[in-house]
Amino acid sequence: MKTWIDSLRREHHLPREIYHQLLTCQDADTIAYLHHQAREVALNQFGNKIYIRGLIEISNCCRNDCYYCGIRKSNINVTRYRLSKEQILDCCREGYELGFKTFVMQGGEDRAQSVDWLVDVISEIRRLYQDCAITLSLGEMQRNDYERLYQAGANRYLLRHETYDEEHYAKLHPGEMTANYRQQCLRWLKEIGFQTGTGIMVGSPFQTIDNILDDIQFIEELQPQMIGLGPFIPHHDTPFAQHQAGSIETTLKLLSIFRLMFPSILLPSTTALASLGLDGRLRGILAGANVVMPNLSPKDTRKNYELYNNKASLGAEAAEGLKLLNQQLSTIGYEISMERGDYKK
């Protein structure tokens, strides 16, 4: 297996059956070797610096009803909120003072925050913080809406494809949502010029190894600039409440595989990984991740953006906890970078 891992590092590609063997491999030595190679590649690309992004959860209202998600439309137990323009600008001001150079606006598909409104908010952030990147993670739209957001000054867009396989996608989403449209959105985003991120939940209900192999192939074809990977974690008020959380180990393997496939990709060690295990974030970095996304949302709304059980939003997961984050990173020899951290080939 080690020879294959060397080959992945050199050629950035493996035959499908070898990815399969890597994903099912239980040999501790081989897995440690995989992580070590990925970590070396990340260190060569970025040094021991971890980029930070300030996450602003702008609304938990959503028109969609994804079976896995805590803020799905049918969950009547959620206290719904949407941030005002002023609240978002306050978050940006606070983040900028803390040293953030990227603001990530994420939310449900909340049509009350119209494209006109988003254009106004983005234009204002762009005017006030010309040296910052603006990332959006606001779900599916039409092509011309994405174009307007880009023209207003947004630079990056995160939209996980969730799963490539149509049948698996249909087990995770109601009929009006399709894998095909989501993948189309990703192609548009890339064509428009966004630095584009996609990704999956690892261990989502009914996911097979073959599904993950299709995801690897899709990501290879799409050539995104960012990949968001986190374990699925059940939420108590969803149809998947009784399903098991995804595996940390498989998530870490995939982080390493993607680092070796795409040496310069921006790869977050996600909140979901940090939420499952105390050392999850650090293990993600040691497997080749190079980004973390601390929470910059107003403190009183964080608890209402509960996508899954026990989602971390405090301590080192919070923007105000940067010092703690830096301390944690230093225990494994890393530190926060205050650079904007754009994708560079």
Total site size for ligand SAM, rule CB under 6 A:
19
Nearer to ligand SAM, 15 or 277 (CB): 277
Neighbours of 290 (CB within 10 A): 26
What's the sign of the alpha-carbon dihedral 302, 303, 304, 310? positive
Q: Which stretch binds ligand SAM (CB under 6 A): 157-165, 296-304, 318-326, 333-341?
A: 157-165
Q: Mask 119-148, x = binds ligand SAM (CB under 6 A)?
A: ------------------xxx---------
* Of 108, 203, 284, 294, the one binding ligand SAM by CB under 6 A: 108
Among positions 133, 159, 219, 229, the unique one binding ligand SAM when judged by CB under 6 A = 159
Contact between 172 and ligand SAM per CB under 6 A: no
- Count Cβ atoms below 10 Å from residue 343 Cβ, excluding itself: 16
Closest CA to 275 of 243, 309, 236: 309
Q: What is the dihedral of CA 22, 257, 207, 196, to 10 degrees?
A: -170
**Does 194 contact ligand SAM by CB under 6 A?**
no
* Binding test (CB under 6 A) with ligand SAM, winner from 19, 150, 218, 232: 232
Q: Tokens 């990815």 label which residue? A: 19
CB closer to ligand SAM out of 54 and 108: 108
Interface residue with ligand SAM among 160, 173, 243, 253 (CB under 6 A) is 160
Looking at the Cβ atoms of 39 and 161, the one nearer to ligand SAM is 161
Contacts of 250 (CB under 8 A, 6+ apart): 23, 202, 203, 212, 231
Backbone dihedral angles phi then psi of residue 344, each to the nearest 5 degrees: -130, 130
Contacting range for ligand SAM; rule: CB under 6 A; set: 88-96, 101-109, 116-124, 261-269: 101-109
- Backbone dihedral angles phi then psi of residue 33, each to the nearest 5 degrees: -65, -45
Member of 51, 68, 169, 194 binding ligand SAM (CB under 6 A): 68
**Distance of alpha carbon 163 from alpha carbon 199, whole angstroms:** 8
By the 10 Å C-beta count (0-12 exposed, 13-18 middle, 19+ buried), 340 is classed as: middle
Q: How many whole angstroms separate alpha carbon 76 and alpha carbon 61?
A: 11
- Interatomic CA distance for residues 287 and 236, integer angstroms: 30
Output phi, psi for 340, to 5 deg: -70, -30
With beta carbons less than 8 A apart as the criterion, state whether 245 and 27 touch: no
In whole angstroms, how close is the CB of 232 to ligand SAM at the nearest point? 5
Kindly state whether residue 307 participates in binding ligand SAM, applying the rule CB under 6 A.
yes
Return the residue of 46, 157, 258, 308 that touches ligand SAM, per CB under 6 A.
308
Among 38, 83, 201, 318, binds ligand SAM (CB under 6 A): 201
Task: Return the structure tokens found at 29.
Answer: 């030595």
Stretch that binds ligand SAM, among 83-91, 225-233, 254-262, 313-321 (CB under 6 A): 225-233
CB of 241 vs ligand SAM, minimal distance in Å: 10
* Contact between 135 and 107 (Cβ < 8 Å): no
Q: Which stretch binds ligand SAM (CB under 6 A): 84-92, 102-110, 172-180, 328-336?
A: 102-110
**Least distance in Å: CB of 270 to ligand SAM?**
8
CA distance linking residue 67 with residue 326, whole number of Å: 36
Binding site for ligand SAM (CB under 6 A): 68-69, 106, 108-109, 137-139, 159-160, 162, 201, 230, 232-233, 235, 272, 307-308
